[in-house]
Amino acid sequence: MGTEAGTEPASIERETRLPGSGKLLILALDAANPALLRRWADDGTLPNIAGLIARGLLAETRSVDGLYVGATWPSFYTAHDPSDHGIYWLDRIRPGSYWTYQCRARDLAAHPALWDVLSRAGRRVAVLDVPLTRISPELNGIQVVEWGVHDAAFGFRTRPRSLAREILATVGRHPAPANCDARRSPEDYRRFAVQLVRGAQARGRLTRELLDAQDWDFAIQVFSETHCAGHQLWHFHDTSHPAFDAIATAESGDLLRDVYVAVDAALGEIIAGVGADTTVVLLSLHGMSHVCGGSLLLPGILERLEAAGAAEGGSPRRPTPAAGDSVGARTGLGGALRRVYSRLPRGLRDRTWRLRRTISRRLLRRETLLCPNPSAKSFVVGLGVGSTCSGIRLNLRGREPQGVLAPGAEAERYCAELEAGLLAITRPESSVPLVRRVIRSCERFAGPQAAIFPDLLVEWEPEPPMGTSAVGSGGGAVWRAYSDAIGLIEKHNAYCRTGEHRIEGMMVGCGESIVPGRLDRSVSILDLAPTFARMLGCDMASRDGKVVTELLGAVR
């Protein structure tokens, strides 16, 4: 595949490569479980990853506290924490309101991405399917956005535009459905796993062809197949999972393993096509494991804790409004379209999912009202950040339109009460704490965008696994929470995922100048982009990221 003549910005001048810097290829496995990668590398299941580990530098990575779902990729490629770049979740609160809206491509431009920095320095780049990215207007090279990513937000685009036609003519669209979330039968799961395997194979071929056709200094390709597989196929691997079905797994095998094997083979195909002067870095920025937490229970928990506070003589507190009530979702044109969509056969819903999202978000301009009844005078509202962590935003006077809590001492007392109440909650069937810790955002994030953040981040205890609605769990599962203050709260989980995110990831750097071994410390994902820039002789400004000198080798 080639690129259109004259697509490079005229202002960019090619620079001479620094001696010894070579090329840098980043191969990322989105939300892959690092322990599985190492285990399956050790036992020969993933021979290409095993080869990188054997001759490379292995390190654990760690994403952003409390926000290691939606904030992970923007934090990585800008080297700034979410309070600087402003993306803590795909949906963001509109300041001065109770409304949230889906972030737009222009919202991702608060800081230059790694490839923007390299482009401005004259390095030629190939940026392929990095999640939550926009088309960079000054890119010196090629870019593919959302050919096949988890939770596509902006649609399939390329730079140059003609590259999209070439990709569709060569490998077609990604074989898996755009929205991987669905309740499936065992046979449906097998078909879905095959789609992900074929997607990984197509991605490997596509990457090899694009890199062969380009003059590049830096390239990155992200395999989202591991992300979708982790959410949907975890119970085919994890025998301790409540949704594990021994009969279905005996017939199909470990479907999660099948996807990892296909990705490993694709990695081998890509690596075989690069020269000896290419440094290869394998990344998994955040991980995946069984579903855990209590996000489903949080609205009820907050309501009970507020009621308990009133009963103990505190300020009167009315029930917390349920978060996520989408205005127009049940009435009007939006409601009619939703009802029609819900009645379509599953296969047709998969094929029309992109169209439905476009109509909902672009034509109907749908936003989400966090607080459907502001006059209820709740002290808090929920704010989405993921499933393994939950966000709570205080209803502050002067910040929210109908704020209740006074900033300062009153808000601090309330937070202390709320934190104590949350930490006292257990899972009644095991007496295991439901909440691991409560993070005060103001103590962790200090950037200019912190004002739109949740004030509290509730990190749920990951063990033991929580039941889901996947095949093998009896059509669903009841989640329970108990404390003396809230009594017993039960909620049926109808969500289809059996795997959810973890903060831990993994990195392997393999190149002529990198000393093999294992780092004795975790590497923040904020450190990676400045390090990669330095490996190519460039500097990248970052308040939070630090260069990992062990990856530089002879280039410092």
CATH code of the domain covering residue 136: 3.40.720.10
Q: Are residues 279 and 299 both part of a single domain?
A: no
**Please, what is the average pLDDT of the chain?**
87
| Whether pLDDT at 366 is above 80 | no
Distance CA 101, CA 94 (A): 7
- Based on the domain organization, do 433 and 461 belong to the same domain? yes
pLDDT of residue 330: 39
CA dist 212 and 410 (Å) reads 62
Assess whether 57 and 136 both reside in one domain: yes
Which of the four pLDDT bands, split at 50, 70 and 90, describes residue 520?
very high
321-354, pLDDT tens digit by residue? 334 433 333 345 555 665 665 567 756 655 565 5
How many Cβ atoms sit within 10 Å of the Cβ of residue 175? 18
Domain assignment present for 427: yes
Residue type, 497: R
Nearest partner of 440 among 384, 392, 508, 497, judged by Cα: 392
409 and 263 share a domain? Answer: no
In single-letter form, the type of residue at position 541 comes to A
Of 472, 496, 520, the residue at which a domain comes to its end is 496
pLDDT at 314: 46
- Domain edge (last residue) among 477, 496, 515: 496
Q: Is residue 96 part of a domain?
A: yes
Could you write out the DSSP letters of every residue in 410-471?
HHHHHHHHHHHHHHT-EETTTTEESEEEEEEHHHH--STTGGGS-SEEEEEP--SPPP-SST
H or E stretch including 211? helix 186-213
Please say whether the beta carbons of 72 and 389 come within 8 A.
no
Can you tell me the distance from the alpha carbon of 538 to that of 21, in angstroms, rounded to the nearest whole number?
Answer: 11
Enter the tokens of residue 220: 């990155």
Same domain as 218, residue 91? yes
Q: Is pLDDT above 80 for 492? A: yes
Based on the domain organization, do 40 and 131 belong to the same domain?
A: yes
Q: Given pLDDT bands bounded at 50, 70 and 90, which one contains residue 441?
A: very high
**Residue of 375 and 442 predicted with greater confidence:** 442
Query: Is residue 16 assigned to a domain?
Result: no
- Please give the pLDDT value at position 203: 98
Q: How confident is the model at residue 319 (pLDDT cuts 50, 70, 90)?
A: very low
343 and 432 fall within a common domain: no
Statement to judge: residues 355 and 401 lie in one domain: no
Do 319 and 227 share a structural domain? no
* pLDDT per position as a tens digit, 138-179: 899 999 999 999 988 899 999 999 999 999 999 999 999 988
Q: Give the pLDDT confidence score for residue 429 in this predicted structure.
A: 85
Helices 225-233 and 186-213, interaxial angle, to 10°? 170
Instruction: Give the whole-number percent of the chain exceeding pLDDT 90.
Output: 69
Q: Is residue 527 part of a domain?
A: yes
Domain of 339, in residue numbers: 328-366
Report which of 460, 474, 438 is spatially closest to residue 292, judged by C-alpha positions: 460
Q: Is residue 391 over pLDDT 60?
A: yes
The sheet with strand 426-427 has its strands ordered as 432-433, 426-427, 477-483, 487-493
What is the reported pLDDT for 495?
85
Q: Are residues 31 and 158 in the same domain?
A: yes
CB atoms within 10 A of CB 51: 17
468 and 540 belong to one structural domain: no
Average pLDDT on 220-240 reads 97
Question: Is 11 part of a structural domain of the chain?
Answer: no
* Residues 409, 389 within the same domain: yes
| Mean pLDDT for the stretch of residues 529-549 | 95
Range of weakest confidence among 306-310, 497-501, 511-515: 306-310
Range with the poorest average pLDDT among 38-42, 227-231, 312-316 = 312-316
Q: Which residues of 347-379 are buried (b: 16+ CB within 10 A; e: fewer)?
A: eebbeebeebbebbeeeeebbbbbbbebeeebb
517-518 and 91-93 strand pairing: unpaired
Q: Is residue 306 part of a domain?
A: yes
Closest CA to 534 of 24, 162, 186, 140: 24
The answer to whether residue 19 sits within a structural domain is no
How many domains does the chain fold into? 3
Among 52-56, 168-172, 376-380, which stretch is predicted with the lowest mean pLDDT? 376-380
- Residue 15 in any domain: the answer is no
pLDDT digits (tens, 9 = 90+) for 192-204: 999 999 999 999 9
Residue ending a domain, choose from 480, 496, 512? 496
pLDDT value of residue 281: 98
Question: How large is the average pLDDT for residues 73-90?
Answer: 96
Pick the more confident residue, 383 or 500.
Answer: 500
- The pLDDT confidence band at residue 486, using thresholds 50, 70 and 90, is very high
